[in-house]
Amino acid sequence: MKGAAIGIIETSSIAKGYEVADTVLKRADVEIVVNRTICPGKYMVLIGGDVDAVNASIDNGVAIGAHTVVDHFIIPNVHPDVFPAISGVTHMPEIEALGIIESFSVASIIEAADAAIKASEVKLITIHLAMAIGGKGYVTLTGEVGAVEAAVDAGSAVVESKGLMVEKVIIPSPRKEIIGEYI
């Protein structure tokens, strides 16, 4: 991917989501990272590129999306571990303490994951985006208990500031049986 910035627009309309995707690609030199429908009947466009291009494209996309925009963001210097966690290709680290942040929006959970990993020495396990969970998103991470607490606090603050928090949990010594395909 070109540059270190990412941006997302999440819409309540699938039709409008397609129009937003077309708009962001035509506005500046950006690449589509994810462009698809998500539960429940929403659409997400995640792009990457240099900071100015992503800013310009997201601004135009938000204007076109208008009243259908559920959430959006621009992260100028996204942490490199965010992409593998979204893709589900992260190598499963040794699970120490387990932290989970759950949000009502895809956009805010990606922002939370980025804030969490930048705030503390933790490893992202996965960032689950909207499919088969009613349009919500959640991030799981692991590390030493204090580090997980700091990371969850930092990530949760992002979600809470948007009024989109569902729940946050820290499990100091999780049982291995709960670490499965959905984590």
Per-residue pLDDT at 1: 47
Per-residue pLDDT at 2: 47
Q: Are 70 and 11 in contact (CB under 8 A)?
A: yes
The lowest-confidence range among 69-73, 93-97, 153-157, 169-173 is 93-97
What's the whole-number mean pLDDT along residues 41-61? 94
Tokens linked to 159: 């979600």
pLDDT digits (tens, 9 = 90+) for 53-89: 999 999 999 999 999 999 999 999 888 888 777 766 5
pLDDT band at 133 (very low <50, low <70, confident <90, very high): confident
User: How far apart (Å, rounded) are the C-alpha atoms in residues 118 and 123?
Assistant: 10
> Which stretch of DSSP H or E encloses residue 182?
none
Q: Which domains does the chain have, with CATH numbers?
A: 5-75 (3.30.70.1710), 82-178 (3.30.70.1710)
User: How far apart (Å, rounded) are the C-alpha atoms in residues 88 and 102?
Assistant: 17
User: How far apart (Å, rounded) are the C-alpha atoms in residues 102 and 5?
Assistant: 23
pLDDT digits (tens, 9 = 90+) for 88-118: 656 666 889 999 999 999 899 999 999 999 9
Per-residue pLDDT at 89: 56
Half-sphere exposure of 15 (CA within 13 A, CB side): 1
